[in-house]
Amino acid sequence: MRAAVDAPVILEGRGLTMRFGGLVAMAEVDFTLRKGEILGIIGPNGAGKSTLLNIVTGLYRPSSGEVRLEGERINGLPAHRIVAKGIARTFQSSRLFGDLSVLDNVVIGRHVHMRCGLLDAILRRGRAEAELREAARRAAELLEAVSRTLYAQRHRPAAELPQADRRRLEIARALASEPKVLLLDEPSSGMDDADTDALMADIRAIRAARPELALMIIEHDMRLVASLPNRVLVLDYGQKLADGLYEEVRLIPRVQEAYLGRKAAQHARP
């Protein structure tokens, strides 16, 4: 799953700083993400991982620095414009519409590609219905490609799904916007080892089907971090500690101290 080192950079952050009053949640963080690459973002609680994703997706406007998608500066744009430009995400806490079906949740994810509005629904009902049927067809195809288990449950209310399938559905809904970059915030949260293994298989299948899709994954499960990302970015107290291969990053003393504490890290070193 190694992305070509010469693949073009699709997303980058330069000098990203985020202040909340007197609290500096992120300080001068740089990162790059290439087409087809998976970047894992790791660090202890409060390290600034979700803050970074919130900046990239427009939920936060950085105090300084910039985010560029394919060379275009996007920080300052509203979140829906950033989605339309090709960045989609999932959240650590579920944002599904529980009363709607699995299929309807994915249809909603396609809203950036739907052109009919309220006036069309009133004055051009046939056109609006045709667009909705096409969106449902595309959503069903996506569900089947992401997870046959989800596809079999496409008419079931999302609230009735087990935790692992809810996570899969959130990924499917994000993919429905046909993104260039997909950001996953703790996708294995609440999963056991078997479900996490299935999630990793799903991500590999998605990558096989969409080889140019770039992913940023915040994750605490080191099995997933060790097996999926091409590179790992380590944050601690809003600062960048390391950026490189997992096998190399995990041996850096400052990274071990951030996770284990200074004394424990000293005992853990070879």
Rounded to whole angstroms, the Cα distance separating 178 from 249 reads 32
Q: Given the structure tokens 């140019």, which residue do they identify?
A: 212
Residue 182: name the closest of 252, 87, 270, 116 by CA: 87
Residue (of 57, 133, 151) closest to 95 by Cα position: 57
Q: What's the pLDDT tens digit per position in 166-186?
A: 999 999 999 999 999 999 999
Which residues are CB-neighbours of 250 under 8 A, at least 6 positions away? 256
**Token digits of residue 58:** 């427009």
Residues of the chain predicted below pLDDT 70: 1-5, 113-128, 260-270
> What does the domain layout of the chain look like in residue ranges?
1-86+179-270, 96-174
Is domain 1-86+179-270 in CATH 3.60.15.10, yes or no? no
Q: Which of 245, 185, 255 is nearest to 220 (CA)?
A: 185
* Structural contact between residues 219 and 187, judged by C-beta atoms closer than 8 angstroms: yes
Q: Output the pLDDT for position 134.
A: 83
Please tell me the predicted confidence (pLDDT) of residue 124.
54
CB 60 within 8 A of CB 76: no
